Amino acid sequence: MAIEILHLSSVVRGALVDRDGDRLGRVEDLIAQLGFAPHPPVTGVVVRIARRQLFVPIARIPDLQPGRVQFVGDTVSLKRFERRPGEVLLSKDLRARHLINLQGARLIRANEIELAYVDGRWEVVAVDPSPRVALRRLLPRGIGRRIPAGKVVDWASIEPFVAHVPTARLRIPYRKLARLHPAQIADLVEAASHEEGEEIIEAVGHDRELEADVFEELDSEHQIEFVRSRTDAEAARLLATMAPDDAADLIGELDQEHRLPVLQLLPQAQQRKIRTLLNYNPETAGGLMSPDFLCLAESTPVSNVLEAVRSSTAPPEALAVVFARGDDGRVSGSASVVRLIQALPPATLGSVVRPNPAHVHPDWDLHSVTRKMTDFNLTVAPVMDEQHRMVGVITVDDVLEMLLPTGWRRDFGMSSVED
């Protein structure tokens, strides 16, 4: 048997009647208790009777119908409504507000909330983000009911914002956001308001590494916005977990009075790397490169090379290629990790690498770097100084990020609100 769907807009502002059908007051809102998976139960109704806002438990409401809610009982408690932990007012707190659609990693606007009577109780089952259903609140009730529903999103995929429900003591669960890719979380932050974005960042802050990954995916405008709202110590803590090249880009965007204090609070090793990168123009190979890579002696056994890859703290994309150096310290060749895995155990790094790898120099501009990487099909390009010694690597994702126009995620709808 099909479950009948009831739209929240058809109930709010409807009449509260007694068992004889006589009007007692007006329905102001419905209350739901979050935290009950997959669909929150409706726990009560907020009604207005004789200018007083009162709470009626759902047990006293045997029937919810469009435009009409029936009350069973001889008296209505005159105790004013007070929100309990985890409770939300479906209309006031959620309707027409942003919600996170975890299934699509997008923000949606709850233009309509759908209810259903399941296993003896009313539950919040879905959200309709379609703009046209918002007309139900504006048009006369009889006409509004005729507006068809759009493509709804199951509530099991929904997460609300604390910013919308300041007294409900809610928090976005970290474990839910952690299932998303950092770039998807960054898209959510960029599409949200500042308060909502702070809430998402706070949720992922339980995992320092994930927080840093999300910050690295944010555009510079949002990075600066969130860093400026933090103390120097908080900003330094975040930057310390970021890749040096990304941290250098962000520090370079800070106001002069904050740049040095934040830099001085970083660990010494991170400071040295960032100070070196800040010496280069951000749009040159030196400004693009990461100082973290793996370059080992030619005589290193392949088994030891693979162990070095496993234990390295360099970014995974930079470890896709391992470089060899000769006795003079100069780079003599490069080998992909796949080539190393395929090599026989007795082999040394020097016997596996391809000699004279294509490379770029720190002062090369973006176009020169792009052409070199394209011509030689490089996913990792070594950056070498005049003495042919490695100072860093540029990965293909670094180049793509620079080539894409500022705000490309918004332009292509990657960080917009889903309708």
295-351 pLDDT, tens digit each? 999 999 999 999 999 999 899 999 999 999 999 989 999 999 999 999 987 899 999
391 shares a domain with 260: no
Does residue 255 have a pLDDT over 90? no
Measured N-to-C along each axis, helices 194-204 and 208-217 cross at an angle, to the nearest 10 degrees, of 140
Identify the pLDDT of residue 143.
58
29-44: pLDDT as tens digits: 999 988 766 899 999 9
Question: What are 216's strand-pairing partners?
Answer: none
Task: Return the pLDDT at 175.
Answer: 84
Average pLDDT (222-237) is: 88
Mean pLDDT for 150-161 is 86
Say which CATH number the domain at 367 has. 3.10.580.10
* 248 plus 310 within the same structural domain: no
Count CB atoms within 10 A of the CB of residue 270: 18
Residues 228 and 265 in one domain: yes
pLDDT band, residue 1 (cuts 50/70/90): very low
| Axis-axis angle for helices 182-191, 194-204 (nearest 10) | 160
Q: Is residue 224 domain-resident? A: yes
Contact criterion met (CB below 8 Å) for 39 and 124:
yes
- The percentage of the chain sitting over the pLDDT mark of 90, rounded to a whole number, equals 43
Lowest mean pLDDT among 35-44, 91-100, 138-147, 354-363: 138-147
What mean pLDDT value characterizes the chain? 87
| Span 211-216, average pLDDT | 89
Q: Which of 159, 186, 210 is the last residue of a domain?
A: 159
Over range 275-301, report the average pLDDT.
93
Q: Is the pLDDT of residue 405 over 80?
A: no
pLDDT value for 391: 95
Q: How far is CA 58 from the centre of its chain?
A: 36
Residues 9 and 155 in one domain: yes
pLDDT at 410 over 60: no
Look at residue 416 and tell me if it is in a domain. Answer: no
pTM, 2 dp: 0.76
Question: Which residues make Cβ contacts (< 8 Å) with residue 323, sequence separation at least 6?
Answer: 293, 294, 295, 296, 331, 333, 334, 353, 357, 382, 390
Q: Are 114 and 126 in contact (CB under 8 A)?
A: yes
- Contact call for residues 124 and 153 (beta carbons, < 8 A): no
Please determine, for residue 133, whether its predicted confidence score (pLDDT) is greater than 80: no
User: Which pLDDT tens digit goes with each residue over 367-394?
Assistant: 999 999 999 999 999 999 988 899 999 9
pLDDT beyond 60 at 144: no
What are the structure tokens assigned to 205, written together?
């802050």
406 pLDDT band, cuts 50/70/90, is low
Distance CA 160, CA 97 (A): 9
Whether 416 has a pLDDT exceeding 60, the answer reads no
> Are residues 45 and 78 both part of a single domain?
yes
Crossing angle of helices 244-253 and 268-278, in 10° steps, is 60
Question: Do residues 9 and 132 both lie within one domain?
Answer: yes
pLDDT beyond 90 at 291: yes
Other CB atoms within 10 Å distance of the CB of residue 231: 12
Domain presence at residue 40:
yes
pLDDT the model gives residue 51: 81
Q: What percent of the chain has pLDDT over 70?
A: 88
CB 96 within 8 A of CB 134: yes
Q: What is the pLDDT of residue 74?
A: 67
Question: Do 266 and 302 belong to one domain?
Answer: no
149 and 12, same structural domain? yes
With 60 as the cut, is the pLDDT of residue 409 above it? Answer: no
> What would the mean pLDDT of 256-261 be, rounded to a whole number?
88
pLDDT at 84 over 90: no
Whether 205 is covered by a domain: the verdict is: no
| CA end-to-end distance (rounded Å), the chain | 30
Q: What is the pLDDT of residues 64-83, one digit of tens each?
A: 888 888 888 767 676 677 77
Q: What is the predicted pLDDT for the residue at 298?
A: 96
Residue 382 sits in the same domain as residue 305? yes
Domain boundary pick from 108, 124, 159: 159
**Does 45 share its domain with 152?**
yes
**Is position 189 within any domain?**
no
> Which structural domain, as residue segments, surrounds residue 78?
5-159
Average pLDDT over residues 211-227: 87
Structural domains counted in the chain: 3
* Cβ partners under 8 Å of residue 235, min gap 6: 227, 254, 258, 262
DSSP secondary structure letter of residue 337? H
Q: Does residue 14 sit within a domain?
A: yes
**Is the link from the previous residue into 38 a cis peptide, with omega within 30 of 0?**
yes
Domain boundary among 245, 279, 313: 279
118 and 79 within one domain:
yes
Handedness of CA 396, 397, 401, 407 (dihedral sign): positive
Task: Give the mean pLDDT of 399-410.
Answer: 71
**106 and 17, same structural domain?**
yes
- Is 312 domain-assigned? yes
Domain membership of residue 176 (yes or no) is: no
